[in-house]
Structure 1
Amino acid sequence: MSNEVIFFAGFIVFVIFVMMLDLGAFSRQRSHIVQFKEAAAWSAVWVTLAIGFYFFLRNFGYWVHDISDPSHLAAVQGLYYQNLTLPADFDAALTKFQNNMALEYLTGYLVEYSLSVDNIFVFILIFSSFGVREIYYKKVLVWGILGSIVLRFIFIFLGSALIQQFSWILYIFGAFLVYTGLKILFTKDEEENIDVQKHPAVKLTSRYFNVFERYVVDHFFIRSKRTGKLYVTPLFVVMIVIAFTDVIFAVDSIPAIFSITKDPYIVFFSNVFAIMGLRSMFFFLVNVIDMFAYLKYGLGVLLTFIGLKMLFEHQLHEWGFNNMYSLIVIVGILAVSIIVSLLFPPKEKKLAEVKE
Protein backbone atom coordinates (compact mmCIF):
# COMPACT_ATOMS: atom_id res chain seq x y z
CA MET A 1 0.00 0.00 0.00
CA SER A 2 1.45 3.39 -1.02
CA ASN A 3 2.04 6.25 1.40
CA GLU A 4 -0.45 8.26 -0.67
CA VAL A 5 -3.27 5.82 0.15
CA ILE A 6 -2.22 5.61 3.81
CA PHE A 7 -2.24 9.39 4.13
CA PHE A 8 -5.65 9.73 2.51
CA ALA A 9 -7.13 6.95 4.67
CA GLY A 10 -5.64 8.57 7.78
CA PHE A 11 -7.20 11.91 6.84
CA ILE A 12 -10.65 10.30 6.48
CA VAL A 13 -10.30 8.55 9.86
CA PHE A 14 -9.25 11.83 11.48
CA VAL A 15 -12.26 13.70 10.05
CA ILE A 16 -14.68 10.97 11.16
CA PHE A 17 -13.17 10.97 14.67
CA VAL A 18 -13.53 14.75 15.06
CA MET A 19 -17.06 14.58 13.65
CA MET A 20 -17.99 11.87 16.19
CA LEU A 21 -16.46 14.01 18.93
CA ASP A 22 -18.50 16.97 17.73
CA LEU A 23 -21.66 14.87 17.64
CA GLY A 24 -21.05 13.67 21.19
CA ALA A 25 -20.73 10.00 20.26
CA PHE A 26 -18.10 9.46 22.96
CA SER A 27 -20.19 10.95 25.75
CA ARG A 28 -23.60 10.36 27.27
CA GLN A 29 -24.77 13.78 26.17
CA ARG A 30 -28.21 13.51 24.57
CA SER A 31 -29.59 15.63 21.74
CA HIS A 32 -29.80 19.24 22.83
CA ILE A 33 -30.27 22.74 21.48
CA VAL A 34 -26.89 24.11 20.43
CA GLN A 35 -26.30 27.46 22.09
CA PHE A 36 -24.32 30.34 20.62
CA LYS A 37 -21.31 29.71 22.89
CA GLU A 38 -21.01 26.04 21.90
CA ALA A 39 -21.42 26.90 18.21
CA ALA A 40 -18.74 29.59 18.44
CA ALA A 41 -16.35 27.17 20.15
CA TRP A 42 -16.80 24.45 17.52
CA SER A 43 -16.56 27.01 14.71
CA ALA A 44 -13.22 28.07 16.18
CA VAL A 45 -12.13 24.41 16.37
CA TRP A 46 -12.88 23.73 12.69
CA VAL A 47 -11.28 26.97 11.51
CA THR A 48 -8.20 26.20 13.63
CA LEU A 49 -7.99 22.68 12.18
CA ALA A 50 -8.35 24.08 8.65
CA ILE A 51 -5.57 26.63 9.19
CA GLY A 52 -3.44 23.99 10.89
CA PHE A 53 -3.80 21.80 7.80
CA TYR A 54 -2.46 24.72 5.72
CA PHE A 55 0.77 24.69 7.75
CA PHE A 56 0.88 20.90 7.54
CA LEU A 57 0.81 21.11 3.72
CA ARG A 58 3.58 23.72 3.73
CA ASN A 59 5.87 21.32 5.59
CA PHE A 60 4.63 17.84 4.68
CA GLY A 61 2.69 18.36 1.46
CA TYR A 62 4.82 15.75 -0.30
CA TRP A 63 2.92 13.09 1.70
CA VAL A 64 -0.26 13.85 -0.26
CA HIS A 65 1.18 12.52 -3.53
CA ASP A 66 3.98 10.45 -1.95
CA ILE A 67 6.67 12.54 -3.68
CA SER A 68 10.12 11.08 -3.03
CA ASP A 69 12.22 12.06 -6.04
CA PRO A 70 12.45 14.66 -8.84
CA SER A 71 10.77 12.43 -11.44
CA HIS A 72 7.71 11.90 -9.25
CA LEU A 73 7.50 15.63 -8.53
CA ALA A 74 7.70 16.38 -12.25
CA ALA A 75 4.90 13.87 -12.94
CA VAL A 76 2.57 15.47 -10.36
CA GLN A 77 3.46 18.93 -11.65
CA GLY A 78 2.60 17.87 -15.19
CA LEU A 79 -0.79 16.54 -14.10
CA TYR A 80 -2.06 19.28 -11.80
CA TYR A 81 0.37 22.22 -11.69
CA GLN A 82 1.29 23.00 -15.28
CA ASN A 83 1.51 26.74 -14.64
CA LEU A 84 3.94 26.32 -11.74
CA THR A 85 7.61 26.83 -12.61
CA LEU A 86 9.99 24.96 -10.30
CA PRO A 87 13.75 25.44 -9.77
CA ALA A 88 16.19 22.72 -10.80
CA ASP A 89 17.27 21.90 -7.23
CA PHE A 90 14.94 19.20 -5.83
CA ASP A 91 14.77 20.54 -2.25
CA ALA A 92 14.04 24.09 -3.44
CA ALA A 93 11.50 22.77 -5.97
CA LEU A 94 9.74 20.69 -3.32
CA THR A 95 9.55 23.66 -0.95
CA LYS A 96 8.04 25.89 -3.64
CA PHE A 97 5.64 23.11 -4.66
CA GLN A 98 4.42 22.61 -1.09
CA ASN A 99 4.00 26.36 -0.51
CA ASN A 100 1.94 26.62 -3.71
CA MET A 101 -0.15 23.60 -2.75
CA ALA A 102 -0.84 25.07 0.70
CA LEU A 103 -1.82 28.44 -0.78
CA GLU A 104 -4.22 26.78 -3.23
CA TYR A 105 -5.76 24.81 -0.38
CA LEU A 106 -6.23 27.94 1.76
CA THR A 107 -7.77 29.90 -1.11
CA GLY A 108 -10.06 27.00 -1.99
CA TYR A 109 -11.10 26.58 1.62
CA LEU A 110 -11.99 30.26 1.90
CA VAL A 111 -14.09 30.08 -1.28
CA GLU A 112 -15.89 26.91 -0.19
CA TYR A 113 -16.51 28.20 3.34
CA SER A 114 -17.90 31.46 1.98
CA LEU A 115 -20.20 29.76 -0.50
CA SER A 116 -21.41 27.47 2.30
CA VAL A 117 -23.02 30.49 3.98
CA ASP A 118 -25.71 30.36 1.30
CA ASN A 119 -26.58 26.83 2.45
CA ILE A 120 -27.58 28.16 5.87
CA PHE A 121 -30.59 30.03 4.48
CA VAL A 122 -31.82 26.86 2.78
CA PHE A 123 -31.18 24.64 5.82
CA ILE A 124 -33.30 26.98 7.96
CA LEU A 125 -36.06 26.73 5.36
CA ILE A 126 -35.81 22.92 5.31
CA PHE A 127 -36.09 22.58 9.09
CA SER A 128 -39.02 24.98 9.15
CA SER A 129 -40.87 23.25 6.29
CA PHE A 130 -40.46 19.79 7.83
CA GLY A 131 -41.34 20.97 11.33
CA VAL A 132 -38.09 19.67 12.86
CA ARG A 133 -37.59 20.54 16.52
CA GLU A 134 -34.49 22.63 17.20
CA ILE A 135 -33.16 19.99 19.58
CA TYR A 136 -32.58 17.64 16.61
CA TYR A 137 -30.89 20.16 14.28
CA LYS A 138 -27.36 19.13 15.26
CA LYS A 139 -27.76 15.39 14.66
CA VAL A 140 -29.49 15.87 11.30
CA LEU A 141 -26.88 18.36 10.10
CA VAL A 142 -23.87 16.25 11.08
CA TRP A 143 -25.12 13.05 9.43
CA GLY A 144 -26.55 14.91 6.44
CA ILE A 145 -23.25 16.66 5.85
CA LEU A 146 -21.35 13.38 6.26
CA GLY A 147 -23.48 11.92 3.47
CA SER A 148 -22.75 14.93 1.29
CA ILE A 149 -18.99 14.42 1.82
CA VAL A 150 -19.26 10.97 0.24
CA LEU A 151 -21.18 12.37 -2.73
CA ARG A 152 -18.77 15.30 -3.12
CA PHE A 153 -15.84 12.85 -3.07
CA ILE A 154 -17.35 11.11 -6.11
CA PHE A 155 -18.07 14.40 -7.91
CA ILE A 156 -14.60 15.84 -7.25
CA PHE A 157 -12.58 12.89 -8.54
CA LEU A 158 -14.98 12.36 -11.45
CA GLY A 159 -14.67 16.08 -12.32
CA SER A 160 -10.88 15.90 -12.06
CA ALA A 161 -10.78 12.90 -14.40
CA LEU A 162 -12.97 14.73 -16.92
CA ILE A 163 -10.79 17.84 -16.75
CA GLN A 164 -7.66 15.77 -17.37
CA GLN A 165 -9.35 14.15 -20.37
CA PHE A 166 -11.25 17.19 -21.72
CA SER A 167 -9.63 20.46 -20.66
CA TRP A 168 -12.29 22.51 -22.48
CA ILE A 169 -14.75 21.58 -19.70
CA LEU A 170 -13.10 24.34 -17.64
CA TYR A 171 -14.55 26.92 -20.03
CA ILE A 172 -18.04 25.48 -19.49
CA PHE A 173 -17.47 25.66 -15.73
CA GLY A 174 -16.28 29.25 -16.06
CA ALA A 175 -19.25 30.36 -18.14
CA PHE A 176 -21.64 28.64 -15.71
CA LEU A 177 -20.08 30.43 -12.73
CA VAL A 178 -20.28 33.82 -14.44
CA TYR A 179 -23.94 33.16 -15.24
CA THR A 180 -24.65 32.06 -11.65
CA GLY A 181 -22.85 35.07 -10.19
CA LEU A 182 -24.69 37.57 -12.40
CA LYS A 183 -27.99 35.84 -11.65
CA ILE A 184 -27.39 36.33 -7.92
CA LEU A 185 -26.53 39.99 -8.46
CA PHE A 186 -29.53 40.84 -10.61
CA THR A 187 -32.27 38.60 -9.22
CA LYS A 188 -34.53 40.08 -6.56
CA ASP A 189 -35.03 38.21 -3.29
CA GLU A 190 -38.20 36.17 -3.28
CA GLU A 191 -39.91 34.22 -0.55
CA GLU A 192 -39.00 30.56 -0.95
CA ASN A 193 -41.16 27.63 0.05
CA ILE A 194 -40.57 23.91 0.07
CA ASP A 195 -43.37 21.57 -0.92
CA VAL A 196 -42.48 18.70 1.41
CA GLN A 197 -44.45 16.03 -0.46
CA LYS A 198 -43.09 16.97 -3.90
CA HIS A 199 -39.43 17.35 -2.94
CA PRO A 200 -37.33 14.95 -5.13
CA ALA A 201 -35.40 13.55 -2.15
CA VAL A 202 -38.65 12.88 -0.27
CA LYS A 203 -40.22 11.11 -3.27
CA LEU A 204 -37.07 9.03 -3.83
CA THR A 205 -36.85 8.02 -0.16
CA SER A 206 -40.55 7.15 -0.02
CA ARG A 207 -40.18 4.94 -3.08
CA TYR A 208 -37.46 2.71 -1.62
CA PHE A 209 -38.15 2.88 2.14
CA ASN A 210 -41.12 2.50 4.45
CA VAL A 211 -41.52 5.95 6.00
CA PHE A 212 -42.98 6.20 9.50
CA GLU A 213 -45.73 8.77 9.85
CA ARG A 214 -44.33 10.73 12.80
CA TYR A 215 -41.08 11.73 14.53
CA VAL A 216 -39.80 9.23 17.12
CA VAL A 217 -37.51 11.06 19.55
CA ASP A 218 -34.22 11.45 17.62
CA HIS A 219 -34.21 8.06 15.87
CA PHE A 220 -33.58 7.63 12.15
CA PHE A 221 -35.00 4.09 12.10
CA ILE A 222 -37.75 2.29 14.00
CA ARG A 223 -39.13 -1.25 13.86
CA SER A 224 -42.89 -1.66 14.12
CA LYS A 225 -43.89 -3.86 17.07
CA ARG A 226 -47.08 -4.81 15.26
CA THR A 227 -45.75 -5.76 11.80
CA GLY A 228 -42.03 -6.20 12.47
CA LYS A 229 -41.20 -3.97 9.49
CA LEU A 230 -38.28 -1.56 9.62
CA TYR A 231 -39.27 2.06 8.97
CA VAL A 232 -37.28 5.23 8.41
CA THR A 233 -38.52 8.20 10.40
CA PRO A 234 -39.23 11.70 9.07
CA LEU A 235 -35.93 12.75 10.71
CA PHE A 236 -34.09 10.37 8.34
CA VAL A 237 -35.94 11.92 5.40
CA VAL A 238 -34.84 15.41 6.50
CA MET A 239 -31.24 14.17 6.72
CA ILE A 240 -31.49 12.91 3.11
CA VAL A 241 -32.91 16.28 2.02
CA ILE A 242 -29.99 18.09 3.73
CA ALA A 243 -27.43 15.89 1.94
CA PHE A 244 -29.31 16.27 -1.38
CA THR A 245 -29.42 20.06 -0.97
CA ASP A 246 -25.70 20.30 -0.19
CA VAL A 247 -24.89 18.34 -3.33
CA ILE A 248 -27.04 20.74 -5.36
CA PHE A 249 -25.02 23.62 -3.96
CA ALA A 250 -21.84 21.75 -4.87
CA VAL A 251 -22.77 22.32 -8.53
CA ASP A 252 -21.54 25.89 -7.95
CA SER A 253 -18.79 25.40 -5.41
CA ILE A 254 -16.86 22.48 -6.91
CA PRO A 255 -16.38 24.14 -10.33
CA ALA A 256 -15.38 27.29 -8.44
CA ILE A 257 -12.51 25.60 -6.66
CA PHE A 258 -11.30 23.94 -9.87
CA SER A 259 -10.49 27.47 -11.02
CA ILE A 260 -8.03 27.66 -8.13
CA THR A 261 -6.46 24.19 -8.27
CA LYS A 262 -6.66 21.15 -10.53
CA ASP A 263 -5.36 18.86 -7.77
CA PRO A 264 -8.35 16.66 -6.73
CA TYR A 265 -6.83 16.01 -3.30
CA ILE A 266 -6.60 19.73 -2.53
CA VAL A 267 -10.15 20.21 -3.83
CA PHE A 268 -11.35 17.44 -1.54
CA PHE A 269 -9.44 18.64 1.54
CA SER A 270 -10.74 22.19 1.22
CA ASN A 271 -14.30 20.90 0.66
CA VAL A 272 -14.17 18.65 3.71
CA PHE A 273 -12.95 21.34 6.10
CA ALA A 274 -15.44 23.85 4.72
CA ILE A 275 -18.56 21.70 4.94
CA MET A 276 -17.59 20.10 8.27
CA GLY A 277 -17.33 23.62 9.66
CA LEU A 278 -20.72 24.39 8.12
CA ARG A 279 -22.62 22.59 10.91
CA SER A 280 -21.16 24.74 13.69
CA MET A 281 -21.33 27.84 11.50
CA PHE A 282 -25.07 27.20 11.04
CA PHE A 283 -25.71 27.55 14.78
CA PHE A 284 -23.22 30.40 15.04
CA LEU A 285 -24.85 32.51 12.31
CA VAL A 286 -28.49 31.42 12.45
CA ASN A 287 -29.43 34.23 14.85
CA VAL A 288 -27.28 36.95 13.27
CA ILE A 289 -27.48 36.09 9.56
CA ASP A 290 -29.79 39.07 8.93
CA MET A 291 -26.90 41.36 9.85
CA PHE A 292 -25.10 40.35 6.64
CA ALA A 293 -27.75 41.42 4.12
CA TYR A 294 -25.23 42.23 1.37
CA LEU A 295 -23.14 39.07 1.75
CA LYS A 296 -25.32 37.45 -0.92
CA TYR A 297 -24.18 40.07 -3.44
CA GLY A 298 -20.59 39.56 -2.33
CA LEU A 299 -20.96 35.88 -3.16
CA GLY A 300 -22.39 36.85 -6.56
CA VAL A 301 -19.32 39.00 -7.28
CA LEU A 302 -17.10 36.20 -5.98
CA LEU A 303 -18.60 33.61 -8.35
CA THR A 304 -18.39 36.03 -11.27
CA PHE A 305 -14.70 36.74 -10.52
CA ILE A 306 -13.89 33.04 -10.23
CA GLY A 307 -15.73 32.29 -13.48
CA LEU A 308 -13.85 35.02 -15.35
CA LYS A 309 -10.59 33.79 -13.85
CA MET A 310 -11.35 30.31 -15.19
CA LEU A 311 -12.24 31.64 -18.65
CA PHE A 312 -9.12 33.81 -18.94
CA GLU A 313 -6.68 31.65 -16.98
CA HIS A 314 -3.93 31.62 -19.62
CA GLN A 315 -4.00 35.37 -20.13
CA LEU A 316 -3.94 36.01 -16.39
CA HIS A 317 -1.00 33.64 -15.99
CA GLU A 318 0.92 35.53 -18.67
CA TRP A 319 0.21 38.77 -16.80
CA GLY A 320 1.60 37.27 -13.59
CA PHE A 321 -1.76 37.01 -11.79
CA ASN A 322 -0.90 34.23 -9.34
CA ASN A 323 -2.74 32.49 -6.48
CA MET A 324 -1.73 35.10 -3.93
CA TYR A 325 -3.50 37.80 -5.95
CA SER A 326 -6.58 35.56 -6.18
CA LEU A 327 -6.59 35.14 -2.40
CA ILE A 328 -6.32 38.92 -1.90
CA VAL A 329 -9.22 39.59 -4.30
CA ILE A 330 -11.42 36.95 -2.66
CA VAL A 331 -10.74 38.23 0.85
CA GLY A 332 -11.37 41.79 -0.36
CA ILE A 333 -14.74 40.90 -1.91
CA LEU A 334 -15.94 39.16 1.24
CA ALA A 335 -14.61 41.87 3.56
CA VAL A 336 -16.31 44.66 1.59
CA SER A 337 -19.68 42.85 1.52
CA ILE A 338 -19.55 42.22 5.29
CA ILE A 339 -18.45 45.77 6.16
CA VAL A 340 -21.13 47.32 3.91
CA SER A 341 -23.76 45.05 5.52
CA LEU A 342 -22.79 46.24 8.99
CA LEU A 343 -22.45 49.93 8.12
CA PHE A 344 -25.47 50.27 5.83
CA PRO A 345 -28.23 47.83 6.86
CA PRO A 346 -31.28 47.70 4.53
CA LYS A 347 -33.99 50.31 5.14
CA GLU A 348 -36.55 47.59 5.89
CA LYS A 349 -34.40 46.40 8.78
CA LYS A 350 -34.01 49.93 10.15
CA LEU A 351 -37.79 50.49 10.05
CA ALA A 352 -38.37 47.20 11.87
CA GLU A 353 -35.93 48.23 14.59
CA VAL A 354 -37.68 51.59 15.00
CA LYS A 355 -41.11 49.93 15.34
CA GLU A 356 -39.78 47.64 18.02
Structure 2
Amino acid sequence: MPFVAAEGGNPNLVELDVHIWQWGVLLGFILALLLVDILVFHRRAHAVKTHEAAIESTVWISIGVAFSLVILWWFGGAATGEYMSGYLIEKSLSIDNVFVWALILSYFKVPSKYQHRVLFWGIFGALVMRAIFIFAGLGLIEAFSWVLYVFGGLLLFTAARLVFTDSAHVDPENSKFLRVIQRFVKTSDELDGQKLFTIKDGVRLATPLFAVLLLIEGTDVI
Protein backbone atom coordinates (compact mmCIF):
# COMPACT_ATOMS: atom_id res chain seq x y z
CA MET A 1 0.00 0.00 0.00
CA PRO A 2 1.69 3.24 -1.09
CA PHE A 3 1.82 6.43 0.90
CA VAL A 4 1.37 9.38 -1.45
CA ALA A 5 3.55 12.25 -0.25
CA ALA A 6 2.13 14.70 -2.76
CA GLU A 7 -0.76 14.38 -5.10
CA GLY A 8 -3.47 16.31 -6.86
CA GLY A 9 -1.28 17.72 -9.62
CA ASN A 10 0.27 20.42 -7.45
CA PRO A 11 3.05 21.87 -9.65
CA ASN A 12 5.04 22.94 -6.58
CA LEU A 13 5.57 19.39 -5.31
CA VAL A 14 7.02 16.16 -6.63
CA GLU A 15 4.49 13.34 -6.46
CA LEU A 16 5.90 10.40 -4.51
CA ASP A 17 4.45 6.97 -3.90
CA VAL A 18 6.29 5.77 -0.81
CA HIS A 19 5.41 2.22 0.19
CA ILE A 20 5.04 1.12 3.78
CA TRP A 21 8.03 -1.21 3.48
CA GLN A 22 10.18 1.70 2.34
CA TRP A 23 9.20 3.69 5.42
CA GLY A 24 9.95 0.59 7.48
CA VAL A 25 13.43 0.25 6.00
CA LEU A 26 14.18 3.93 6.57
CA LEU A 27 12.93 3.98 10.16
CA GLY A 28 14.71 0.71 10.92
CA PHE A 29 17.98 2.10 9.55
CA ILE A 30 17.64 5.30 11.58
CA LEU A 31 16.85 3.32 14.73
CA ALA A 32 19.88 1.08 14.16
CA LEU A 33 22.15 4.11 13.80
CA LEU A 34 20.79 5.68 16.98
CA LEU A 35 21.21 2.44 18.93
CA VAL A 36 24.81 2.10 17.76
CA ASP A 37 25.50 5.68 18.81
CA ILE A 38 23.98 5.45 22.29
CA LEU A 39 24.81 1.82 23.13
CA VAL A 40 28.24 1.43 21.53
CA PHE A 41 30.08 4.72 21.07
CA HIS A 42 28.51 6.48 24.06
CA ARG A 43 27.61 3.60 26.31
CA ARG A 44 29.72 5.12 29.07
CA ALA A 45 29.49 8.79 29.91
CA HIS A 46 32.59 10.66 28.80
CA ALA A 47 33.56 14.13 27.67
CA VAL A 48 33.50 14.25 23.87
CA LYS A 49 36.79 15.60 22.55
CA THR A 50 37.00 17.92 19.55
CA HIS A 51 38.41 15.29 17.19
CA GLU A 52 35.76 12.77 18.24
CA ALA A 53 32.99 15.32 17.67
CA ALA A 54 34.45 16.21 14.26
CA ILE A 55 34.54 12.56 13.19
CA GLU A 56 31.00 11.88 14.38
CA SER A 57 29.68 15.04 12.71
CA THR A 58 31.35 14.06 9.45
CA VAL A 59 29.83 10.58 9.62
CA TRP A 60 26.30 11.85 10.32
CA ILE A 61 26.46 14.51 7.60
CA SER A 62 27.85 11.97 5.13
CA ILE A 63 24.97 9.61 5.87
CA GLY A 64 22.46 12.40 5.33
CA VAL A 65 24.01 13.39 2.01
CA ALA A 66 24.42 9.77 0.91
CA PHE A 67 20.70 9.22 1.44
CA SER A 68 20.15 11.51 -1.55
CA LEU A 69 21.46 8.64 -3.69
CA VAL A 70 18.66 6.45 -2.35
CA ILE A 71 16.15 9.18 -3.23
CA LEU A 72 17.72 9.44 -6.69
CA TRP A 73 17.46 5.68 -7.21
CA TRP A 74 13.86 5.40 -6.01
CA PHE A 75 12.29 8.68 -7.11
CA GLY A 76 14.55 10.48 -9.59
CA GLY A 77 16.41 13.75 -9.86
CA ALA A 78 13.56 16.16 -9.05
CA ALA A 79 12.86 14.49 -5.71
CA THR A 80 16.59 14.40 -4.98
CA GLY A 81 16.84 18.13 -5.59
CA GLU A 82 13.97 18.78 -3.18
CA TYR A 83 15.54 16.52 -0.57
CA MET A 84 18.92 18.25 -0.78
CA SER A 85 17.28 21.68 -0.68
CA GLY A 86 15.41 20.72 2.47
CA TYR A 87 18.52 19.14 3.97
CA LEU A 88 20.66 22.24 3.40
CA ILE A 89 17.95 24.58 4.71
CA GLU A 90 17.55 22.43 7.81
CA LYS A 91 21.31 22.41 8.39
CA SER A 92 21.61 26.16 8.05
CA LEU A 93 18.69 26.82 10.40
CA SER A 94 20.05 24.33 12.93
CA ILE A 95 23.26 26.32 13.41
CA ASP A 96 21.40 28.80 15.60
CA ASN A 97 20.20 25.95 17.82
CA VAL A 98 23.78 24.92 18.57
CA PHE A 99 24.50 28.27 20.22
CA VAL A 100 21.24 28.10 22.18
CA TRP A 101 22.06 24.58 23.40
CA ALA A 102 25.51 25.75 24.48
CA LEU A 103 23.91 28.51 26.55
CA ILE A 104 21.44 26.08 28.12
CA LEU A 105 24.16 23.57 29.02
CA SER A 106 26.32 26.37 30.41
CA TYR A 107 23.48 27.88 32.45
CA PHE A 108 22.67 24.54 34.10
CA LYS A 109 26.38 23.72 34.48
CA VAL A 110 25.97 20.31 32.85
CA PRO A 111 29.31 18.46 32.99
CA SER A 112 30.80 17.66 29.59
CA LYS A 113 30.53 13.91 30.16
CA TYR A 114 26.74 14.14 30.54
CA GLN A 115 26.08 16.50 27.64
CA HIS A 116 25.90 13.91 24.87
CA ARG A 117 23.24 11.85 26.64
CA VAL A 118 20.92 14.78 27.30
CA LEU A 119 21.46 16.17 23.80
CA PHE A 120 20.79 12.74 22.29
CA TRP A 121 17.44 12.27 23.99
CA GLY A 122 16.50 15.92 23.61
CA ILE A 123 17.08 15.87 19.87
CA PHE A 124 15.44 12.44 19.57
CA GLY A 125 12.29 13.80 21.18
CA ALA A 126 12.42 16.82 18.90
CA LEU A 127 12.69 14.54 15.86
CA VAL A 128 9.58 12.66 16.93
CA MET A 129 7.66 15.92 17.29
CA ARG A 130 9.00 17.16 13.95
CA ALA A 131 7.81 13.97 12.26
CA ILE A 132 4.33 14.57 13.65
CA PHE A 133 4.38 18.16 12.39
CA ILE A 134 5.67 17.11 8.96
CA PHE A 135 2.93 14.55 8.38
CA ALA A 136 0.33 16.98 9.68
CA GLY A 137 1.73 19.64 7.34
CA LEU A 138 1.61 17.27 4.37
CA GLY A 139 -2.01 16.55 5.14
CA LEU A 140 -2.80 20.27 5.25
CA ILE A 141 -0.97 20.93 1.98
CA GLU A 142 -2.83 18.14 0.23
CA ALA A 143 -6.15 19.46 1.52
CA PHE A 144 -5.42 23.19 1.14
CA SER A 145 -2.70 24.07 -1.38
CA TRP A 146 -2.60 27.71 -0.19
CA VAL A 147 -1.16 26.52 3.14
CA LEU A 148 2.14 26.07 1.28
CA TYR A 149 2.48 29.87 1.09
CA VAL A 150 1.82 30.16 4.83
CA PHE A 151 4.61 27.67 5.52
CA GLY A 152 6.85 29.63 3.15
CA GLY A 153 6.14 32.78 5.14
CA LEU A 154 7.01 31.00 8.38
CA LEU A 155 10.27 29.83 6.84
CA LEU A 156 11.16 33.39 5.82
CA PHE A 157 10.29 34.61 9.32
CA THR A 158 12.53 31.95 10.85
CA ALA A 159 15.37 32.88 8.50
CA ALA A 160 14.98 36.57 9.39
CA ARG A 161 15.03 35.76 13.09
CA LEU A 162 18.20 33.74 12.56
CA VAL A 163 19.88 36.69 10.84
CA PHE A 164 18.72 39.52 13.09
CA THR A 165 18.45 37.85 16.51
CA ASP A 166 21.55 37.72 18.65
CA SER A 167 21.64 34.23 20.16
CA ALA A 168 24.35 35.33 22.58
CA HIS A 169 21.71 37.22 24.56
CA VAL A 170 19.36 34.27 25.00
CA ASP A 171 18.74 33.92 28.74
CA PRO A 172 17.53 30.46 29.84
CA GLU A 173 16.66 31.83 33.28
CA ASN A 174 13.96 34.05 31.77
CA SER A 175 12.60 31.33 29.51
CA LYS A 176 8.81 31.04 29.74
CA PHE A 177 9.17 27.37 28.87
CA LEU A 178 11.47 26.84 31.87
CA ARG A 179 9.06 28.62 34.20
CA VAL A 180 6.24 26.33 33.05
CA ILE A 181 8.42 23.28 33.75
CA GLN A 182 9.32 24.50 37.23
CA ARG A 183 5.69 25.30 37.97
CA PHE A 184 4.36 21.83 37.25
CA VAL A 185 7.38 19.63 38.04
CA LYS A 186 9.21 19.52 41.35
CA THR A 187 12.87 19.99 40.59
CA SER A 188 16.18 19.59 42.35
CA ASP A 189 19.13 21.95 42.02
CA GLU A 190 21.61 19.08 42.10
CA LEU A 191 22.59 16.55 39.44
CA ASP A 192 22.47 12.83 40.12
CA GLY A 193 24.74 11.46 37.42
CA GLN A 194 22.87 11.07 34.14
CA LYS A 195 19.52 10.56 35.85
CA LEU A 196 16.56 12.71 34.86
CA PHE A 197 14.85 12.05 38.20
CA THR A 198 16.17 11.46 41.70
CA ILE A 199 14.86 10.74 45.18
CA LYS A 200 15.63 13.33 47.85
CA ASP A 201 14.22 13.07 51.39
CA GLY A 202 11.71 10.54 50.08
CA VAL A 203 10.45 12.89 47.38
CA ARG A 204 10.86 12.19 43.68
CA LEU A 205 12.37 15.23 42.00
CA ALA A 206 13.41 16.07 38.47
CA THR A 207 17.11 16.82 38.13
CA PRO A 208 18.37 19.81 36.14
CA LEU A 209 18.98 17.40 33.25
CA PHE A 210 15.23 16.95 32.87
CA ALA A 211 14.76 20.70 32.41
CA VAL A 212 17.69 20.75 29.98
CA LEU A 213 16.11 17.89 28.03
CA LEU A 214 12.78 19.68 27.66
CA LEU A 215 14.42 23.00 26.82
CA ILE A 216 16.49 21.36 24.08
CA GLU A 217 13.39 19.72 22.63
CA GLY A 218 11.48 22.99 22.76
CA THR A 219 14.18 25.13 21.18
CA ASP A 220 14.87 22.56 18.46
CA VAL A 221 11.23 22.34 17.40
CA ILE A 222 10.48 26.05 17.73
Q: Using structure 2 for the length normalisation, give the TM-score.
A: 0.81
Name the counterpart of 1:199: 175
- AA at the equivalent of 2:169: E
Report the Cα offset of residue 29 of structure 1. Answer: 4.3
Amino acid aligned to 2:37: D
Q: Aligned partners of 2:155 and 2:149: how far apart in 1?
A: 10
Shift in Å, 1:128: 1.5
Superimposed CA distance per residue, residues 116-145 of structure 1 (whole angstroms, 9 cap, x where no aligned partner): 111111111111222222222111111100
Match of 2:106 among 109, 128, 132: 128
1:1-356 correspondence to structure 2 within 5 Å: 4-23=19-38, 25-26=39-40, 29-59=43-73, 61=74, 97-182=75-160, 185=163, 187=164, 189=166, 191-196=168-173, 198-224=174-200, 226-227=201-202, 229-248=203-222
AA of the residue aligned to 1:4: H
Q: Identity, % of aligned pairs? A: 34
Structure 1 gap segments, 5+ residues each: 62-96, 249-356
Alpha-carbon deviation of 1:179? 4.5
Give 2:176's aligned amino acid: P
2:167 and 2:23 mapped to 1: Cα distance? 42
Q: Deviations over 1:75-121 (max 9, x none)?
A: xxxxxxxxxxxxxxxxxxxxxx4222122112211111121111111
Structure 2 vs 1, CA of residues 6 and 222 (structure 1 numbering), >3 Å: closer, same or farther?
Answer: farther
Residues 169 and 127 of structure 1, relative CA distance in 2, 3 Å threshold: same
Mark the CA change 1:207 to 1:17 in structure 2 (over 3 Å): closer, same or farther: farther
Decide which structure has the larger Cα Rg and report it: 1
Q: For residues 51-89 of structure 1, give each alpha carbon's deviation from its aligned partner in whole angstroms, at most 9, with x where no partner exists.
A: 221111222x2xxxxxxxxxxxxxxxxxxxxxxxxxxxx
When residues 140 and 52 of structure 1 are mapped into structure 2, their CA distance, relative to the original with a 3 A threshold, is same
Which structure features the higher share of strand residues? 2
1:194 Cα deviation from its structure 2 partner: 1.5
Contact kept in structure 1, 2:100 and 2:167, CA below 8 Å? no
Q: What do you get for the CA RMSD once the two structures are aligned?
A: 2.5
In the other structure, the counterpart of 1:262 is: none
Q: Secondary structure at the match of 1:103?
A: helix
Alpha-carbon distance in structure 2 between the residues aligned to 1:28 and 1:243: 20
The offset of 1:208, in angstroms, is 4.0
1:227-281 Cα deviation digits (max 9, x unpaired)? 2x43321111101100000011xxxxxxxxxxxxxxxxxxxxxxxxxxxxxxxxx
CA gap of 1:116–1:179, structure 2 versus 1, over 3 A, is: closer
C-alpha offsets along residues 6-34 of structure 1, whole Å, 9 cap, x if unaligned?
Answer: 321332232122122222x1368421111
- Cα 1:44/1:103, change in 2 over 3 Å: same
> The residue matched to 2:40 in structure 1 has which SS?
coil
More displaced 10-residue stretch of structure 1: 48-57 or 236-245: 48-57
Q: Give the C-alpha shift of residue 195 in structure 1.
A: 4.2
For structure 2, list consecutive stretches of 5 or more residues without a partner in the other structure. Answer: 3-17
Question: How many residue pairs were aligned?
Answer: 207
